[in-house]
Amino acid sequence: MFPDITKLRKDFPILDQSVNGKPLIYLDNAATSQRPLQVIDRMNEFSLKINGNIHRATHFLANKTTEAFECARGTLRTFLNASESSEVIFTHGTTESINLVAHSFGEAFINAGDEVVVSEMEHHANIVPWQIICNRKGATLKVLRFTDQGVLDLAELDQLLTHKTKILAVTQVSNTLGTVNPIQKIITKAHEKNIPVLIDGAQGAAHFRIDVQELDCDFYALSGHKMYGPTGIGVLYGKRKWLDRMPPFLSGGEMIDRVTFGNTTFNEIPYKFEAGTPHYTGAIGLAAAIEYLNNQDISILEKYEHELLAEATMRLKQIDGLTIYGEAPEKSGVISFNIEGIHPFDLGTLLDQLGIAVRTGRLCADPVMDHYGVENMVRASFAFYNTFKEIETFYKALIRLKTMF
């Protein structure tokens, strides 16, 4: 049974437009997803009627804003099933969330000779912050490899996780390969050796139900704009037992308890990690996106996205000289590929002429490019508002463009 996509698409007016004289086909959802009216309206209404700075004043607008912001935190808590709202920290997005953990967890718990483990399929945002803290502390970054099929080698994980390992950081869904990693299994393995785990949920949160208590992950990072919410807002979930023992990341207003020139004592979590005026309009928009998702039957949408992926994979495989990178059995709506003899930049440019938006380039994942020995890739990524007809058009466009080379 498929959802009523025609009806759902009405919630996303941006999709109903022409690009270069052709109806827009938006296949760059892994970069950023579009926002439904419900999110746009909520943010507009907030800006039109409510805006005041949070937690700082006694006036009407400030109180209403504080209420809305904390209510958004509550929505995120429920969405993630965190045990308490204080474990939900608002950030700019996944990148800041991971930087926060790398910096503050690293400051408190990583020392010379220690090791941090990441996977080979990580986005740069889940590699570079760890590299920096490792360099600063004299620790070593270890890498869990994936097979050519795009599957993490879990047997290797057992060797990699040792008494030296201070944290394991791994993505839920690869932004390049689409692989859905067995994070539950990975977390269990790490916890058997008392190693905490950070999950990069940037590509996962929009597509799956998340239960951080059931997963028992120590940290979970997500971005609003990849799950039908606004840009500039994201979340870091962290277990209290870690957050309480981690020093602040950024400092300034709100995150303090008492400041004198001699000393400063810090506020409680989550405020300890929310220095300065947060993007509360974004937080309210993100909460609206989650409410939007809550009003859909996620399991049906998930199944539909899977059908889209299967159809697109089947179609693309019919094209001579086309290579798909990553064909894990558990895969989300991302297809990265190359067509022999055609540079991804050329293909992306020509697809754009046909109104089709895809991502081209190194996909913020140099190690994945190196794994397959390519400079660039083309990536098509799907959301529930994409249609089978769009995939048909995409396929025909590739056939047509191929004749130009």
Partner 1 sequence: MTIDDIQQQIIEDFSGIEDWMDKYSLLIELGNELEPLDPKYKVDSNLIRGCQSRVWLHQEFAEGKIVFEAESDALIVKGLVALLLKIYSDRTPSEILGSEPRFIDEIGLRQHLSPTRSNGLLAMVKQMKLYALAYEKLSSKNN
Question: Shortest CA distance to 334 belongs to which of 122, 179, 156?
Answer: 179
For residue 366, state whether it binds partner 1 (rule: CB under 8 A). no
Among 361, 374, 388, 393, binds partner 1 (CB under 8 A): 361
For residue 321, state whether it binds partner 1 (rule: CB under 8 A). no
Among 66, 81, 323, 376, binds partner 1 (CB under 8 A): 376
For residue 374, state whether it binds partner 1 (rule: CB under 8 A). no
Rg (CA), the chain: 22
- Annotation says 364 is catalytic: yes
Beta bridge partners of 29: none
For residue 367, state whether it binds partner 1 (rule: CB under 8 A). no
Nearer to partner 1, 291 or 346 (CB): 346
Among 45, 67, 330, 375, binds partner 1 (CB under 8 A): 375
At its nearest, how many Å lie between partner 1 and the CB of residue 385? 26
Nearer to partner 1, 273 or 325 (CB): 325
For residue 348, state whether it binds partner 1 (rule: CB under 8 A). yes
Nearer to partner 1, 75 or 360 (CB): 360
214 CB-near residues (< 8 Å, 6+ apart): 81
For residue 350, state whether it binds partner 1 (rule: CB under 8 A). yes
| 224-229-232 Cα angle (round to 5) | 50
At its nearest, how many Å lie between partner 1 and the CB of residue 349? 6
Q: Which stretch binds partner 1 (CB under 8 A): 25-33, 111-119, 287-295, 346-354?
A: 346-354
Among 196, 224, 344, 367, binds partner 1 (CB under 8 A): 344
For residue 355, state whether it binds partner 1 (rule: CB under 8 A). no
Question: Shortest CA distance to 64 belongs to which of 73, 48, 78, 53?
Answer: 53
Nearer to partner 1, 184 or 349 (CB): 349
At its nearest, how many Å lie between partner 1 and the CB of residue 378? 11
Task: Give the residue numbers marked as catalytic.
Answer: 364
**Rule CB under 8 A: which residues touch partner 1?**
20, 342-346, 348-350, 353, 360-362, 375-376, 404-405
